[in-house]
Amino acid sequence: MHTAISMLSRIPKISLAHLPTPLEEAPRMAEKIGVSKLYIKRDDLTGLACGGNKARKLEYDFGEIVNGGYDVVITAGGIQSNHARMTAAACRKLGLDIKLVLGGPDFTLLKGNLLLDGLFGAEIRYLIDDDANDSLTVAMKKWAVELSARGRKPYIIPIGGSTGLGALGYVQAMQEIAEQFGNGNVQIIVGVGSCGTFAGSLLGTKMFMPQSRVIGISVSRTAPAIAVRTGELIREEEELLQYHSGVNAIAIECYDEYFTEYGVMTQAGKQAIDDCALLEGILLDPIYTGKVMAGLTGLVQTKRIDPAVPVIFIHTGGTPIIFSFEEDLGKSVNITKIKTGL
Protein backbone atom coordinates (compact mmCIF):
# COMPACT_ATOMS: atom_id res chain seq x y z
CA MET A 1 0.00 0.00 0.00
CA HIS A 2 2.76 2.48 0.90
CA THR A 3 4.49 1.61 -2.35
CA ALA A 4 1.25 2.34 -4.24
CA ILE A 5 0.91 5.77 -2.58
CA SER A 6 4.49 6.68 -3.39
CA MET A 7 4.08 5.35 -6.97
CA LEU A 8 0.98 7.55 -7.36
CA SER A 9 2.92 10.63 -6.28
CA ARG A 10 5.69 9.82 -8.78
CA ILE A 11 3.55 9.36 -11.91
CA PRO A 12 4.06 12.48 -14.06
CA LYS A 13 1.13 14.84 -14.28
CA ILE A 14 0.51 18.40 -15.36
CA SER A 15 -1.45 20.71 -13.09
CA LEU A 16 -4.66 21.63 -14.94
CA ALA A 17 -7.44 21.48 -12.34
CA HIS A 18 -8.30 23.80 -9.46
CA LEU A 19 -7.72 21.42 -6.56
CA PRO A 20 -8.80 20.59 -3.94
CA THR A 21 -12.43 21.11 -4.89
CA PRO A 22 -14.81 21.92 -2.01
CA LEU A 23 -16.73 19.22 -0.15
CA GLU A 24 -19.98 21.00 0.69
CA GLU A 25 -22.81 19.91 2.92
CA ALA A 26 -26.24 19.99 1.24
CA PRO A 27 -28.73 19.88 4.14
CA ARG A 28 -31.92 20.67 2.22
CA MET A 29 -31.23 18.07 -0.47
CA ALA A 30 -30.41 15.58 2.31
CA GLU A 31 -33.84 16.18 3.83
CA LYS A 32 -35.56 15.97 0.45
CA ILE A 33 -33.87 12.67 -0.40
CA GLY A 34 -34.22 11.27 3.12
CA VAL A 35 -30.62 10.80 4.31
CA SER A 36 -29.04 12.05 7.53
CA LYS A 37 -26.12 13.83 5.84
CA LEU A 38 -25.39 14.61 2.20
CA TYR A 39 -22.11 16.14 1.01
CA ILE A 40 -21.47 17.23 -2.57
CA LYS A 41 -17.89 16.94 -3.85
CA ARG A 42 -17.76 19.93 -6.18
CA ASP A 43 -15.79 18.51 -9.09
CA ASP A 44 -17.99 20.73 -11.26
CA LEU A 45 -15.55 23.44 -10.13
CA THR A 46 -12.30 21.89 -11.41
CA GLY A 47 -11.86 24.59 -14.09
CA LEU A 48 -10.97 23.98 -17.76
CA ALA A 49 -13.96 26.01 -18.97
CA CYS A 50 -16.90 25.06 -16.73
CA GLY A 51 -15.36 22.21 -14.75
CA GLY A 52 -15.99 18.49 -14.50
CA ASN A 53 -14.44 15.14 -13.65
CA LYS A 54 -12.30 14.96 -16.78
CA ALA A 55 -9.87 17.61 -15.52
CA ARG A 56 -8.48 15.13 -12.99
CA LYS A 57 -7.96 12.43 -15.65
CA LEU A 58 -6.43 14.90 -18.09
CA GLU A 59 -3.73 15.90 -15.58
CA TYR A 60 -2.25 12.39 -15.98
CA ASP A 61 -2.87 12.15 -19.75
CA PHE A 62 -1.15 15.48 -20.36
CA GLY A 63 1.76 14.41 -18.14
CA GLU A 64 2.43 11.75 -20.79
CA ILE A 65 1.62 14.07 -23.73
CA VAL A 66 3.97 16.87 -22.63
CA ASN A 67 6.79 14.50 -21.60
CA GLY A 68 6.45 12.64 -24.89
CA GLY A 69 6.75 15.83 -27.00
CA TYR A 70 3.43 15.36 -28.82
CA ASP A 71 2.20 18.45 -30.68
CA VAL A 72 -1.42 17.60 -31.46
CA VAL A 73 -4.09 15.81 -29.45
CA ILE A 74 -7.00 13.87 -30.95
CA THR A 75 -9.96 12.76 -28.90
CA ALA A 76 -13.60 11.82 -29.47
CA GLY A 77 -17.08 11.76 -27.96
CA GLY A 78 -20.72 12.58 -28.45
CA ILE A 79 -22.04 15.93 -29.62
CA GLN A 80 -22.16 17.26 -26.03
CA SER A 81 -18.97 15.60 -24.80
CA ASN A 82 -17.61 17.28 -21.68
CA HIS A 83 -14.39 15.35 -22.16
CA ALA A 84 -13.89 16.87 -25.65
CA ARG A 85 -14.49 20.42 -24.39
CA MET A 86 -12.12 20.02 -21.45
CA THR A 87 -9.42 18.39 -23.59
CA ALA A 88 -9.69 21.32 -26.02
CA ALA A 89 -9.30 23.79 -23.13
CA ALA A 90 -6.31 21.87 -21.76
CA CYS A 91 -4.62 21.88 -25.19
CA ARG A 92 -5.01 25.64 -25.48
CA LYS A 93 -3.66 26.12 -21.95
CA LEU A 94 -0.56 24.15 -22.96
CA GLY A 95 -0.16 25.57 -26.47
CA LEU A 96 -1.08 22.34 -28.28
CA ASP A 97 -3.27 21.72 -31.29
CA ILE A 98 -6.64 19.95 -30.84
CA LYS A 99 -8.67 17.75 -33.22
CA LEU A 100 -12.05 16.33 -32.22
CA VAL A 101 -14.07 13.49 -33.72
CA LEU A 102 -17.64 13.92 -32.52
CA GLY A 103 -20.77 12.04 -33.43
CA GLY A 104 -24.52 11.93 -32.99
CA PRO A 105 -27.63 13.48 -34.51
CA ASP A 106 -27.28 16.22 -37.09
CA PHE A 107 -27.60 19.77 -35.76
CA THR A 108 -28.10 23.32 -36.95
CA LEU A 109 -27.06 25.45 -33.98
CA LEU A 110 -23.83 25.25 -31.99
CA LYS A 111 -24.91 24.81 -28.38
CA GLY A 112 -23.42 23.89 -25.01
CA ASN A 113 -20.12 22.02 -25.19
CA LEU A 114 -20.09 22.04 -29.01
CA LEU A 115 -20.10 25.84 -28.99
CA LEU A 116 -17.20 25.85 -26.51
CA ASP A 117 -15.25 23.33 -28.64
CA GLY A 118 -15.58 25.85 -31.45
CA LEU A 119 -14.42 28.75 -29.28
CA PHE A 120 -11.28 26.76 -28.45
CA GLY A 121 -10.61 26.50 -32.17
CA ALA A 122 -10.85 22.72 -32.24
CA GLU A 123 -10.90 21.26 -35.74
CA ILE A 124 -13.94 19.00 -35.68
CA ARG A 125 -14.91 16.01 -37.82
CA TYR A 126 -18.55 15.18 -37.17
CA LEU A 127 -20.04 11.73 -37.84
CA ILE A 128 -23.68 12.47 -38.53
CA ASP A 129 -26.01 9.95 -36.88
CA ASP A 130 -23.23 7.78 -35.56
CA ASP A 131 -21.66 8.06 -32.14
CA ALA A 132 -20.72 4.39 -31.74
CA ASN A 133 -17.39 4.11 -29.94
CA ASP A 134 -15.91 1.89 -32.65
CA SER A 135 -16.74 4.34 -35.47
CA LEU A 136 -15.30 7.28 -33.53
CA THR A 137 -12.13 5.32 -32.72
CA VAL A 138 -11.61 4.33 -36.37
CA ALA A 139 -11.99 8.00 -37.41
CA MET A 140 -9.45 9.11 -34.77
CA LYS A 141 -6.88 6.54 -35.92
CA LYS A 142 -7.34 7.57 -39.55
CA TRP A 143 -6.78 11.21 -38.63
CA ALA A 144 -3.65 10.32 -36.64
CA VAL A 145 -2.20 8.54 -39.70
CA GLU A 146 -2.92 11.62 -41.86
CA LEU A 147 -1.28 13.95 -39.33
CA SER A 148 1.80 11.73 -38.93
CA ALA A 149 2.20 11.66 -42.71
CA ARG A 150 2.36 15.47 -42.58
CA GLY A 151 5.16 15.36 -39.99
CA ARG A 152 3.02 15.98 -36.91
CA LYS A 153 3.21 13.98 -33.66
CA PRO A 154 -0.39 13.12 -32.70
CA TYR A 155 -1.53 11.62 -29.38
CA ILE A 156 -4.94 9.91 -29.17
CA ILE A 157 -6.83 10.17 -25.88
CA PRO A 158 -9.47 7.39 -25.98
CA ILE A 159 -13.17 8.28 -25.60
CA GLY A 160 -13.96 9.72 -22.17
CA GLY A 161 -10.28 9.73 -21.20
CA SER A 162 -10.93 6.38 -19.57
CA THR A 163 -7.61 4.57 -19.45
CA GLY A 164 -5.84 3.19 -16.39
CA LEU A 165 -3.61 6.28 -16.48
CA GLY A 166 -6.52 8.76 -16.60
CA ALA A 167 -8.40 6.86 -13.90
CA LEU A 168 -5.56 7.64 -11.49
CA GLY A 169 -7.11 11.12 -11.31
CA TYR A 170 -9.88 9.59 -9.20
CA VAL A 171 -7.48 7.58 -7.06
CA GLN A 172 -6.01 10.96 -6.18
CA ALA A 173 -9.53 12.42 -5.71
CA MET A 174 -10.25 9.80 -3.03
CA GLN A 175 -7.04 10.81 -1.25
CA GLU A 176 -8.36 14.39 -1.34
CA ILE A 177 -11.77 13.37 0.06
CA ALA A 178 -10.12 11.32 2.80
CA GLU A 179 -8.23 14.46 3.86
CA GLN A 180 -11.45 16.52 3.85
CA PHE A 181 -13.86 13.99 5.35
CA GLY A 182 -11.65 11.60 7.31
CA ASN A 183 -11.70 7.87 6.97
CA GLY A 184 -15.21 7.25 8.28
CA ASN A 185 -18.08 5.07 7.20
CA VAL A 186 -19.54 6.79 4.10
CA GLN A 187 -21.47 5.93 0.94
CA ILE A 188 -19.90 7.49 -2.18
CA ILE A 189 -22.13 7.99 -5.25
CA VAL A 190 -20.38 8.09 -8.65
CA GLY A 191 -21.87 8.48 -12.13
CA VAL A 192 -20.63 5.88 -14.62
CA GLY A 193 -20.17 6.37 -18.37
CA SER A 194 -16.86 5.18 -19.80
CA CYS A 195 -16.00 3.82 -16.28
CA GLY A 196 -12.74 5.71 -15.55
CA THR A 197 -14.14 7.80 -12.70
CA PHE A 198 -15.68 4.71 -11.12
CA ALA A 199 -12.51 2.60 -11.53
CA GLY A 200 -10.38 5.34 -9.98
CA SER A 201 -12.83 5.84 -7.11
CA LEU A 202 -12.98 2.11 -6.34
CA LEU A 203 -9.20 1.75 -6.21
CA GLY A 204 -8.71 5.08 -4.42
CA THR A 205 -11.15 4.19 -1.64
CA LYS A 206 -9.37 0.85 -1.14
CA MET A 207 -6.18 2.83 -0.60
CA PHE A 208 -7.40 5.87 1.35
CA MET A 209 -10.94 5.24 2.66
CA PRO A 210 -11.25 1.48 3.17
CA GLN A 211 -14.40 1.81 5.31
CA SER A 212 -16.39 3.44 2.54
CA ARG A 213 -18.90 1.91 0.11
CA VAL A 214 -18.69 3.09 -3.52
CA ILE A 215 -21.92 2.94 -5.55
CA GLY A 216 -21.96 3.49 -9.31
CA ILE A 217 -25.00 4.80 -11.19
CA SER A 218 -24.91 4.21 -14.93
CA VAL A 219 -25.84 6.81 -17.54
CA SER A 220 -25.26 4.57 -20.56
CA ARG A 221 -24.10 0.97 -20.04
CA THR A 222 -25.61 -2.13 -18.46
CA ALA A 223 -24.31 -3.15 -15.04
CA PRO A 224 -22.59 -6.35 -16.35
CA ALA A 225 -20.80 -4.34 -19.08
CA ILE A 226 -19.69 -1.84 -16.43
CA ALA A 227 -18.31 -4.62 -14.22
CA VAL A 228 -16.20 -5.96 -17.10
CA ARG A 229 -14.82 -2.58 -18.23
CA THR A 230 -14.25 -1.29 -14.71
CA GLY A 231 -12.41 -4.49 -13.82
CA GLU A 232 -10.10 -4.00 -16.83
CA LEU A 233 -9.37 -0.40 -15.87
CA ILE A 234 -8.64 -1.34 -12.26
CA ARG A 235 -6.10 -3.93 -13.45
CA GLU A 236 -4.41 -1.21 -15.58
CA GLU A 237 -4.29 1.16 -12.61
CA GLU A 238 -2.88 -1.59 -10.41
CA GLU A 239 -0.14 -2.24 -12.92
CA LEU A 240 0.83 1.44 -12.91
CA LEU A 241 0.87 1.55 -9.11
CA GLN A 242 2.31 -1.96 -8.68
CA TYR A 243 -0.45 -2.69 -6.18
CA HIS A 244 -2.89 -5.56 -5.87
CA SER A 245 -6.08 -4.08 -4.41
CA GLY A 246 -8.18 -7.21 -4.27
CA VAL A 247 -11.14 -5.31 -5.84
CA ASN A 248 -13.31 -7.99 -7.41
CA ALA A 249 -15.04 -6.84 -10.61
CA ILE A 250 -17.94 -9.23 -9.98
CA ALA A 251 -18.63 -7.66 -6.59
CA ILE A 252 -18.68 -4.07 -7.94
CA GLU A 253 -21.91 -2.30 -6.93
CA CYS A 254 -23.51 -0.51 -9.86
CA TYR A 255 -27.12 0.25 -10.84
CA ASP A 256 -28.30 0.62 -14.43
CA GLU A 257 -32.00 1.41 -13.99
CA TYR A 258 -31.79 5.23 -13.87
CA PHE A 259 -31.28 5.97 -17.56
CA THR A 260 -33.36 5.15 -20.61
CA GLU A 261 -31.03 6.10 -23.42
CA TYR A 262 -27.68 7.90 -23.27
CA GLY A 263 -28.17 11.60 -23.92
CA VAL A 264 -31.92 11.61 -23.23
CA MET A 265 -33.21 13.43 -20.15
CA THR A 266 -35.48 11.42 -17.83
CA GLN A 267 -38.41 12.82 -15.83
CA ALA A 268 -36.70 11.87 -12.56
CA GLY A 269 -33.50 13.53 -13.79
CA LYS A 270 -35.38 16.74 -14.54
CA GLN A 271 -36.89 16.62 -11.04
CA ALA A 272 -33.40 16.22 -9.52
CA ILE A 273 -32.12 19.21 -11.54
CA ASP A 274 -35.01 21.36 -10.27
CA ASP A 275 -34.63 20.19 -6.66
CA CYS A 276 -30.88 20.79 -6.53
CA ALA A 277 -31.20 24.23 -8.11
CA LEU A 278 -34.07 25.33 -5.86
CA LEU A 279 -32.82 23.80 -2.60
CA GLU A 280 -29.04 24.24 -2.86
CA GLY A 281 -28.32 26.70 -5.69
CA ILE A 282 -26.30 23.98 -7.44
CA LEU A 283 -26.64 23.05 -11.12
CA LEU A 284 -26.95 19.46 -12.28
CA ASP A 285 -27.15 18.46 -15.96
CA PRO A 286 -29.67 16.36 -17.93
CA ILE A 287 -27.26 13.69 -19.29
CA TYR A 288 -25.11 12.81 -16.28
CA THR A 289 -25.46 14.34 -12.80
CA GLY A 290 -29.25 14.84 -12.90
CA LYS A 291 -29.71 11.12 -13.56
CA VAL A 292 -27.17 10.21 -10.91
CA MET A 293 -28.95 12.33 -8.28
CA ALA A 294 -32.26 10.74 -9.37
CA GLY A 295 -30.54 7.37 -8.92
CA LEU A 296 -29.42 8.28 -5.41
CA THR A 297 -33.01 9.28 -4.58
CA GLY A 298 -34.31 6.00 -6.01
CA LEU A 299 -31.79 3.93 -4.05
CA VAL A 300 -32.86 5.61 -0.79
CA GLN A 301 -36.54 5.03 -1.61
CA THR A 302 -35.90 1.35 -2.32
CA LYS A 303 -33.79 1.01 0.85
CA ARG A 304 -30.56 0.16 -0.96
CA ILE A 305 -28.82 3.14 0.68
CA ASP A 306 -28.58 3.30 4.47
CA PRO A 307 -30.08 6.71 5.40
CA ALA A 308 -28.14 6.82 8.67
CA VAL A 309 -24.73 6.65 6.96
CA PRO A 310 -23.45 9.91 5.38
CA VAL A 311 -23.52 10.13 1.59
CA ILE A 312 -20.95 11.86 -0.63
CA PHE A 313 -22.27 12.69 -4.11
CA ILE A 314 -19.43 13.23 -6.59
CA HIS A 315 -20.58 16.15 -8.73
CA THR A 316 -18.85 15.29 -12.00
CA GLY A 317 -19.81 18.50 -13.84
CA GLY A 318 -21.57 18.71 -17.20
CA THR A 319 -22.78 22.28 -16.69
CA PRO A 320 -22.54 23.38 -20.38
CA ILE A 321 -25.00 20.64 -21.37
CA ILE A 322 -27.75 22.66 -19.68
CA PHE A 323 -27.36 25.19 -22.48
CA SER A 324 -28.23 22.60 -25.10
CA PHE A 325 -31.47 21.62 -23.34
CA GLU A 326 -32.97 25.09 -23.05
CA GLU A 327 -36.30 24.05 -24.60
CA ASP A 328 -36.95 21.21 -22.12
CA LEU A 329 -35.48 22.94 -19.09
CA GLY A 330 -37.00 26.33 -19.90
CA LYS A 331 -40.61 25.13 -19.66
CA SER A 332 -40.96 25.96 -15.96
CA VAL A 333 -39.22 29.35 -16.11
CA ASN A 334 -41.53 32.04 -14.76
CA ILE A 335 -41.16 35.34 -16.64
CA THR A 336 -43.68 38.14 -16.98
CA LYS A 337 -42.76 40.63 -19.69
CA ILE A 338 -43.53 44.18 -18.58
CA LYS A 339 -42.92 47.64 -20.01
CA THR A 340 -41.02 50.41 -18.24
CA GLY A 341 -43.26 52.24 -15.77
CA LEU A 342 -45.74 49.40 -15.24
- Catalytic residues, by residue number, are 81
**Smallest gap, in angstroms, from Cβ of residue 154 to ligand PLP?**
22
Q: Which stretch binds ligand PLP (CB under 6 A): 17-25, 203-211, 236-244, 310-318?
A: 310-318
For 2-33, the DSSP string reads HHHHHHHHHS-----S--SPPEEE-HHHHHHH
Site string for ligand PLP, 68-107 (x = CB under 6 A): --------------xx------------------------
**Distance, C-alpha 129 to centroid of its chain:** 23
Task: Give the bridge partners for 123, in sequence order.
Answer: 99
Which residues, numbered 244-283, are part of the site for ligand PLP (CB under 6 A)? none
Burial grade of 306 (CB within 10 A; 0-12, 13-18, 19 or more)? middle
| Minimum distance from residue 134 beta carbon to ligand PLP (Å) | 17
Q: What residues numbered 15-74 form the site for ligand PLP, per CB under 6 A?
A: 52-53
Do the beta carbons of residue 116 and residue 320 sit within 8 Å? Answer: yes
Size, binding site for ligand PLP by CB under 6 A: 19
Q: Is 8 in the site for ligand PLP (CB under 6 A)?
A: no
Told to check if 316 binds ligand PLP by CB under 6 A, we report yes
Strands (E), 132-230: 154-157, 187-192, 213-218
Q: Cβ of residue 19: shortest distance to ligand PLP, in angstroms?
A: 17
In contact, 39 and 46? CB cutoff 8 Å: no
The single residue among 51, 103, 160, 320 that binds ligand PLP, judged by CB under 6 A, is 160
Query: 36-47 burial, b for 16+ CB within 10 Å, e for fewer?
Result: eebbbbbbbbbb
Q: What residue type is assigned to position 276 of the chain? A: C
Give the contact letters, 195-214, x = binds to ligand PLP (CB under 6 A), - = no.
xxxx----------------
Binding site for ligand PLP (CB under 6 A): 52-53, 82-83, 160, 162, 191-198, 288-289, 316-318
